[in-house]
Amino acid sequence: MKNKKIKYELGQGNCVFGTMLTNSVSPRWAGHFANIGLDYVVIDTEHSPFNRSEVANLINSFNLGNVCPIVRIPIPSPHYATMHLDAGAGGILAPYCETKEETEEIIGAVKWKPLKGKLLSDIIKQNKFPSKESKTYLENLNSENICIIGIESVPAINNLENILSVEGIDAIFVGPNDLSVSLGIPNEYENKLYEDALDEIINKCQPKNIPVMIHHQSTDLTSKWIKRGSVFVLYTSDKRASQNGFLDEFSIIKNTATNIGKYQSQAKNIEEEIV
């Protein structure tokens, strides 16, 4: 499966590439992303109105297309994590985690499902399993699941070493908008305060061989942070990429029409022309 290759490449320190799915419910996107060489896609259920059936259909299509479907759940809740893993998701991205306890709950759901309650707590806190057979079964069942923890606030960064002490984290996710707002500098991605925060996250993750995923929207910022250590590359979204593509290409053909006198861009209001 694609999950195994993603884990292998990240373990070697190599980049893997994906994008965010925010608007498109059609399963036909799976073939499109496979054709352009993406390793994974993050299906965003935190900020987008996907319903459970739509997500399940997308997951199935991406699995068939050999692109790993990772679901960003609405809140760091084990209920949402197991729900989408049961539908076939290859991984879970839990947003806005700030405590070790939140992280343990997500890790438990992703790495040790279907156990719950006290038995799951015994595994997380004491490495105590119901039996050797249960441990082997659970490890084999969940071995390829990818667990990504969202670090998107100043309190999360301040608590990061404690969070990283939890075994089973496959990657750390940074949401630039949330983090910059938390820092008091909304969307100032060239601000030294923001850059220092990202450097701190990367520097704390690298000794533990935990890759960092930063969701930037420009090729310049994405490339910049690849050079500075971000290898789990999450770039733009289906909405933004299609919008930018249409804007760029229609700009070219509108310029052609303008140059031969067949189009007057923003010249006059059409209604005024008609009157």
- Which pLDDT tens digit goes with each residue over 174-195? 999 999 999 999 999 999 999 9
Q: What is the predicted pLDDT for the residue at 201?
A: 98
Q: Is the pLDDT of residue 171 over 50?
A: yes
The tens digit of pLDDT for each residue in 67-116 reads 999 999 999 999 999 999 999 999 999 999 999 999 999 999 999 999 98
Q: Which domain holds residue 202?
A: 2-242
Q: What is the DSSP string of 44-63?
A: E-SSS---HHHHHHHHHHHH
What is the domain-level CATH number for residue 114?
A: 3.20.20.60
Let me know if residue 200 belongs to a domain: yes
Give the containing element (helix H, strand E) for 216: strand 212-216
Residue 270 lies in a domain: no
Which pTM value belongs to this model? 0.92
Q: Locate 253 and state its tokens.
A: 């053909």
Tokens of 30: 């799976």
Residue 167 domain-assigned (yes or no) = yes
Number of domains, the chain: 1
**Residue 79 lies inside a defined structural domain of this protein:** yes
249 domain residue, yes or no: no
